[in-house]
Amino acid sequence: MIKTILTLTLSIFTFIAFAQKTLDSRNISAWSGSWSQVAEEDYEYFLNGDSTVITQNNISSGNPIMVRQEFIREDAQGRVKTYEVHSYDQNEMAVIPQTKIHNTYATTVVGSSTVDFLFRIVSYTWNKNTQHWDTGFVEVSEVNNDGLVSSKTTYEGGMTLKYSKFDIVYNSKGDIDTQYVYVWSSNNWALNARTHYHYNGSDQLTHEITDYWNPSGGVYLTYLRYDYGYNADGKRDSIVTSQWSQASQAWFPNNRTQITYDNDGDTDYEINQIYAGSGNWTNQFKFDYIYQTTNSLPNLPIADFRIFPVPANNHLNIQSNMAVSTVEVYDMNGQLVKKVNSLENLNPQIPTYDIEGGIYFLKLKFHSGQVESRKIVVRH
């Protein structure tokens, strides 16, 4: 089995008949004798699912405060093309770009099959002075004679300075067996670490061990280990991280993630724990996944729309490919705050200067009858 390297999985889509199940939100809770929600992530999908916006709000103070937004754009094959992270600036009261990654894919021949692989990754950081993206690092992959990705080289400064390199060795099944890490030093590649990957009879990754190279002693020093567990359906349901003690010559666990799935096989919740000693684990964080299912018939037009600015001040703009008939604004208690009828407009502008600052739910009804809800922030 050929495993995809550096694939960024950032959205989940499950199709049953004509029902579409999508991740709607993820609630984040912290453990302090009991679970207490501290943050939430809201997922919005545009362009028929090819574009995703993830908004993270901090709610530990009681009132939701936007922290950051992630913008994910996929290509026609469902691969992540661009990934942007924006953070909310309290002083400027606006969402400011921070980092961006752009992926480029290529094809290679493995045996008699044509396989896609992640060929190039370019990272960017936002320059507030020039209001443009500055190039950070560039990672370029190469393939071997078998068509498998054999190395990944990272450059900085617009592909002028070599930084790090990964050499990959595969087993007879096409799974990664060993990955060697090098860093560029004194005009040479210096060995830095290696990771061995181990699989069970079902070709599932069971554990990986990372050793760091000690140039003075000329030996590898064992350092880090990941152990993976699977449920009866073959889905990964646990990840345990351990560190090697040179003094004790033994592994000591650090943290653990336990994953539970719903009846559809989608993630229901995850629990992160830290090791407390004597075989005991202490809860740290919990992630609850909430989905929404919409029923639609094939070839039925679907409204793609965008809402901005975030947060809204005096007005809120809506850009849509389908006429908006009605807009309703509800507060967090479910009370109707504003309603605008008979718009029949592709790009309506909704006044918000007369709405108190806070978080609201926006309900849109389109000319086709489709109804969508989104969470908005108003701040004056």
Give me the DSSP letters along 247-313.
TTTEEEEEEEEEEEE-TTSSEEEEEEEEEEETTEEEEEEEEEEEEEEEE--TT-----EEEESSSBS
pLDDT, tens only, 327-359? 989 887 778 899 888 667 778 889 999 998 888
The DSSP 8-state label assigned to residue 66 in this structure reads: E
Confidence of residue 4 (pLDDT cuts 50, 70, 90): very low
Compute how many other C-beta atoms are within 10 angstroms of the C-beta atom of residue 187.
6
Domain ranges, ordered by start, for the chain: 20-74+248-295, 305-378
| CA atoms 199, 203, 169, 171: torsion sign | positive
Confidence of residue 18 (pLDDT cuts 50, 70, 90): very low
Check residues 128 and 192 and name the one with the higher pLDDT. 192
Rounded CA separation 75/51 (Å): 9
Helices then strands (H, E): number in the chain?
A: 0, 26
**pLDDT (0 to 100) of residue 300:** 43
**pLDDT (0 to 100) of residue 5:** 27
Confidence of residue 367 (pLDDT cuts 50, 70, 90): confident
Confidence of residue 6 (pLDDT cuts 50, 70, 90): very low
**pLDDT (0 to 100) of residue 248:** 94
- CATH code of the region 305-378: 2.60.40.1220
**Does the structure show a pLDDT above 90 at 212?**
yes
Q: What is the mean pLDDT of the chain?
A: 85
**Does the structure show a pLDDT above 80 at 56?**
yes
**Does the structure show a pLDDT above 90 at 52?**
no
Confidence of residue 304 (pLDDT cuts 50, 70, 90): confident
**pLDDT (0 to 100) of residue 377:** 85
pLDDT, tens only, 306-329? 888 878 888 888 888 788 888 989
Rounded CA separation 378/315 (Å): 9
By CB atoms closer than 10 A (0-12, 13-18, 19+), residue 217 is exposed
**pLDDT (0 to 100) of residue 101:** 96
**pLDDT (0 to 100) of residue 15:** 28
> Residue 320's closest CA among 367, 277, 355, 358?
367
With a pLDDT cut of 70, the percent of the chain lying above it is 88
**pLDDT (0 to 100) of residue 16:** 29
> Residue 139's closest CA among 126, 124, 156?
156
**Does the structure show a pLDDT above 50 at 125?**
yes
**Does the structure show a pLDDT above 80 at 93?**
no
With a pLDDT cut of 90, the percent of the chain lying above it is 48
Question: How much is the average pLDDT of 64-72?
Answer: 85
**Does the structure show a pLDDT above 70 at 19?**
no
3-state secondary structure of 126: strand
pLDDT, tens only, 224-277? 999 999 999 999 999 999 999 999 999 999 999 999 999 999 999 999 999 999
Check residues 193 and 304 and name the one with the higher pLDDT. 193
Confidence of residue 49 (pLDDT cuts 50, 70, 90): low
In Å, how far are 5, 35, 46, 165, 175 from 143, measured between CA atoms? 12, 47, 34, 14, 14
3-state secondary structure of 320: strand
**pLDDT (0 to 100) of residue 218:** 93
Query: Residue 166 has which token pair?
Result: 């990964």
Rounded CA separation 310/55 (Å): 10
**pLDDT (0 to 100) of residue 146:** 80
